[in-house]
Structure 1
Amino acid sequence: MKKIHLLLLKSFIRPFAVTLFIVMFVLLMLFLFKYIDDLIGKGFAWYTILELMLYNSATNVSMALPLSVLLSTIMTYGALGENYELVAIKAAGISLRRAMYPMIAIVSILSVAAFFFSDFMLPVANLKYYSLLYDARKQKSADLLPERVFSSSFPGYTIRVNRKDPDGQRLYDITIYKKNDEQSNTEVTMAKEGTMFRTMGDKFLVLKLKDGVSYIESKGGDNSYNIRQRLTRYRFKETETKFDLSAFKLSRTDESEFKSASEMMNLKQLRFFVDSSEKAVNAAVNMNYKLLTPYIKYFTLPTKPPKIKYIPADKDVLKSMTLSNQIMALSTASSEIRSIRDVLKNRTDKYDFDSMTIRRYASQAQKKFTLSAACIVLFLIGAPLGAIIRKGGLGLPVVISVVFFLIYHIISTIGEKSVKAGNVPTFFGMWIAIIVLLPIGLFLSYKAATDSVLFDMDSYKRFFNKFFKRKAAR
C-alpha cells in the first residue's frame, strides 16, 4: 500500500512542478506584453525589472496554483490509466477512492499553504509590486532624443535630432540650443552626425559630435545691456557634450501610501476595516434624521400659542390664504424640498461609495479562503477526469483543464463583480464558482469510482445506432 502511495506521489509531483512553472511563465509573458512600453527604453537597471517580474510572479500564484493542480491531476491519473496502472491498482483490491488518499493529503497541504500565502505573503508582494509598477510607469522616458522633435528633457537645453540609426546610438543632423540664465538661446551647436552613450552608473549622457559648428552670442563689453553684440563662431571635427541624468533615475514613492488598498491587507486587517466601516456607515445612517429635521418645517409656532384654529384634513389649506400668501407658501415649500433633496443626495452618494468600499474589502477577505477551496474542488474534477479519459501528456488534458478553469474563472469573476455592484450577498457571490463546480467534481468522482464510460465515444455511437434502428423498425 505504501509503495502505491509513493508511486502516486511521484507521478503527481513532477507534472505539478512542470505545469506550475509553465503557467507562471505564460502569465509572466502576458505581464511583459502588457507593460513592455512602460519598461523598455527607460534606462532601468536590470535588477529593477527582475524585481518587478518577481513580484508579479508572486501575485499570479492565485491564478496559477488552481490551474496547475487541475492540469497536473488530469495528467497524473490520465497517464496511470493510459499505462493500465490504475487497472493493476484496482486488480489488487484497492479502489480509486483509496488510491486518491495520498493525493488528497498533498492537495490539502497545498490548500493550507495557499491560504497562508494569500494571507501573509501575497499582501506584501502586492504592495511591492504595485508601488514599484506605479513608480516605473510614471518614470520619464529614456528615449530622450526622439527623431524630428525639439526635446527639452534636459534643463537648459533644447535638442533636435533629424534621424537615428535603428540601434539608437548614432545620430544625424543634430541641433543643440543652450539657454543662458535669462532663458535665451544664445548658443547654438549644429553637427552632421554623432554618437550617444551613457557613462558608468548612468550618471551622464554623452553626445560625441562630429563635423559641426557652434555659434555663441555674448555681450560686447562689461557695461553693455545688449547680449547680442558679439558673435563667436568656431568649427570642430569632434567634440563632446555631457548631460546630467540624475533627474531620470527611478524615484520610489513611500509604500505607506499604498497600504490602505484591499490587496495590501491581510485577513485580520480586512475584517477590522470592514467592521469599523460598517459601524461608521450605520452611525451615519442614524444621523440622517437629525440632519433632515431642521429642513422640515410644517408650521412655525410660538412657544405658547394663544389659540390655534383647527383646519379639517379634507379642506385645502391654500384656499384659506390670500394669493400673496399662497405664492409665499409654495415658494417656501419648494425651497425646503430642494434643500432636503440636496442633503439626501449628498448623504446617498456617500452611503453608496462607503457601501461599495465595504463590499470590495469583504470580497477580498473571502478570496483568502476561495483560493484554498478552488484547489480542492479542481482536484476533485481533475483526478476522476484523468481516470476516465485515460490520456496523459500535454494534449487532451490541457484542453479539458483549460475549459474547466475558464468556467471557474468566468463564474468567479462574474460573482466578484456582482458582489462589488451590490447585486448579490458577499459570501454567495465569492463562493458561487465553488458551489457550481463542487457537485460536478463529486459526480465525476462517483463516475470514476464506478468505472463509468462517460467519455467513451464508442458507447455513445452504439447507443445512437440502437436508438435509430429501433425507430426505423417501428
Structure 2
Amino acid sequence: MKLLHREIFKELLKLFGLTVTCLLGLILIGRMLQLRSLFLSQNIGFFNILQLFFFLTPFFLLLVTPISTMLSVFLTFLRMSTDNELTALKANGVSLYKMLPAPVIFCTLCTLFTFGISFWGLSWGMDMFKTKLYHFARTHSKFALQPGVFNKEFPGLTFYAHQVDNEKGELKFAFVRDESVKGTSVVIVAPKAQIVSNPENAEVKLIFKKGKIYRQNNDELNILRFGTYSVKLDLGKLLGGFNFSEQKAKDMPFFRLREIRNDPSKAPYQTPRFHRKVDTEYFKRLTLPLGCIILGMFAIPIAYVFRGLKQQYGLLLSMGLFLVYYSMFSVGVSMGESGSIPPVYGLWAPNFLYIFVAVLGAKFANEERTFPLVEWIAHLRSKWVKVAS
C-alpha cells in the first residue's frame, strides 16, 4: 500500500507541476498581449516586465491552483481507470477508500499552499508590483526628461528643460505649459527646478524656483512672479491611468480584511459598497483555497464514472466541470459585492454543492455503481443512435 500511495502521489505531483506551468504561461502571455501598448510606449525592458509579472504570480496562483489540483487528480484516476488498474486493484481487495490517502494528502498540501497565498502572498505580490511599477515609471519611462526635448507624455502638459540631471533631479531653464483646463493656457518658466518624488503616493513634483507664471484666459494675460511653485504629476497617467494611491480590498492582506470587518471605522473608505467588497473578499480568501481539496475529492468519483474516456476528452470534461464551479463562484462574488445576497451564502454554495456530489459519488464509485443521471444520458444516447440509424 505504501508503494501504491507513493506512485499515485508522484503522478499527482507531475501532473500538478505541468498543469500549473501551462496555465500560468497562458495567463501571462495573455496579459503581455493585453499590455503590449503600455510596454511599447514606455522604456520598460523585458527583464523588468518579467519582474512585474513575477509579483502578479500569487494573484494568478490563487485562481490556478484549485483547477490544477482537480485536473491532476482527475487525469490520474482517469488513466488508472482506463488502463484497468482500478479494476485490478479492486480484484485484489483494494477498495477506493484505501487509495484515498495519497490524493487526500496531495489536496491538503495544495490547500495549505493556497491558504498561504490567500493570507499573505497576494498582498505581498500586489505591494511589490505597485512599488516596482512606480520605480520603473520613475526611472525607466519616458518621464525621465531629456535636455532640449519637449516631453508630452502627460495629457495637457508639455515639459522642457535646457539642462537635465536625472540622477539629482535638477533642471535648468525649465518650462512647463499646462493646457489641461479648457480655454486657459498656463506657462511656467524658471531658471531652476527640482524633481521631488513621493513613492508612497506614486507622485512626482516639479518645484520651480524664482520664476514667472503666464496665464492666458481668452484675451486676458496675467503675469505672476513667484519664489517657489510646484506642479504635481501623477505617474499613473504614464501607465494607462493606473491608480497607485487607491486602496482596494483585493490587494489587502487577510488580517487587514478581518480587522475592517470587526471594526468598520478602520476602513479607508466609509461607503457601503467598499464594506461589501471587504466582506466578499474575506470569504473569497477562505472558500477559494478550500476548493483545492473539495474539487480534488470531487474529481475521483467523476473519473471513475467516466472510465474508458480518452484523456483529451477527460481534460475537456474536467475543465467544463471546473467552469461550472467557477461560474457559480463568480456569480456569488458579483452578487455579494452588489448586495443582492450575503457573500457568505454566495461563496460557500459552490463548495457545499461539490462536497455533496463528491461524497455521494465516492459511495457510488466504491460500490461500482454509476449515477442515475449518467445511466439516463447513456439511455438517451442509445435511443438517439437507433433513431439515427
Q: TM-score, normalised by structure 1?
A: 0.56
Change (3 A) 1:140 1:387: same
- Out of 248, 252, 265, which is 1:265 matched to? 252
For residues 135-214 of structure 1, the aligned pairs below 5 Å read 156-157=148-149
Deviations 1:343-370 (A, max 9, x none): xxxxxxx9xx622211211221212211
Change (3 A) 1:49 1:252: farther
Mapped to 1, the partners of 2:78 and 2:294 lie a distance apart of 18
Mapped to 1, the partners of 2:262 and 2:44 lie a distance apart of 42
Please state if 1:417 is matched with 2:334: yes
Q: Tell me by how many angstroms 1:440 deviates.
A: 2.4
Deviations 1:93-124 (A, max 9, x none): 11112212221122112212211221122210
Aligned to 2:170: none
Change (3 A) 1:120 1:143: closer
Change (3 A) 1:136 1:30: farther
Deviations 1:365-417 (A, max 9, x none): 21221122111121122122222222577501221121112111111111111
Change (3 A) 1:360 1:78: same
For residues 6-405 of structure 1, the aligned pairs below 5 Å read 6-133=6-133, 156-157=148-149, 253-254=199-200, 260-277=247-264, 354-391=271-308, 394-405=311-322
Structure 2 counterpart SS, 1:93: coil
**Contact 1:39 1:136 survives alignment (8 Å):** no
**Contact 1:363 1:416 survives alignment (8 Å):** yes
Mapped to 1, the partners of 2:134 and 2:148 lie a distance apart of 28
Mapped to 2, the partners of 1:180 and 1:101 lie a distance apart of 69
Which stretch has the larger CA shift, 385-394 or 112-121?
Answer: 385-394
Q: Tell me by how many angstroms 1:141 deviates.
A: 6.9
Mapped to 1, the partners of 2:376 and 2:262 lie a distance apart of 55
Percentage of matched positions with identical amino acids: 19
Q: What residue identity is the alignment partner of 1:363? A: T
Q: What residue identity is the alignment partner of 1:420? A: E
Q: What residue identity is the alignment partner of 1:266? A: P
- The structure with more radius of gyration: 1
**Contact 1:277 1:354 survives alignment (8 Å):** no
Aligned to 2:208: none
Q: What residue identity is the alignment partner of 2:314? A: P
Deviations 1:131-179 (A, max 9, x none): 54577689997699xxxxxxxx8564469xxxxxxxxxxxxxxxxxxx9
Aligned to 1:227: none
Q: What residue identity is the alignment partner of 2:59? A: T
Unaligned stretches of 5+ residues in structure 2: 152-159, 168-194, 203-243
Change (3 A) 1:82 1:379: same
Aligned to 2:213: none
Change (3 A) 1:13 1:71: same
Change (3 A) 1:452 1:139: farther
Mapped to 1, the partners of 2:300 and 2:248 lie a distance apart of 37
Deviations 1:154-212 (A, max 9, x none): 564469xxxxxxxxxxxxxxxxxxx998xxxxxxxxxxxxxxxxxxxx99xxxxxxxxx
Change (3 A) 1:132 1:391: farther
Paired residues, number:
305
Q: What residue identity is the alignment partner of 1:443? A: L
Q: What residue identity is the alignment partner of 1:385? A: I
Mapped to 2, the partners of 1:402 and 1:423 lie a distance apart of 28
Unaligned stretches of 5+ residues in structure 1: 145-152, 160-178, 182-201, 204-246, 281-349, 469-474
Mapped to 1, the partners of 2:129 and 2:309 lie a distance apart of 37
Structure 2 counterpart SS, 1:60: helix
Mapped to 2, the partners of 1:138 and 1:383 lie a distance apart of 51
Change (3 A) 1:85 1:397: same
Q: Tell me by how many angstroms 1:427 deviates.
A: 0.9
Q: What residue identity is the alignment partner of 2:44? A: F
Change (3 A) 1:81 1:259: same
Mapped to 2, the partners of 1:261 and 1:423 lie a distance apart of 21
Structure 1 counterpart SS, 2:263: helix
**Contact 2:147 2:161 survives alignment (8 Å):** no
Mapped to 2, the partners of 1:9 and 1:158 lie a distance apart of 62
Mapped to 1, the partners of 2:112 and 2:315 lie a distance apart of 25
Q: Tell me by how many angstroms 1:424 deviates.
A: 0.8
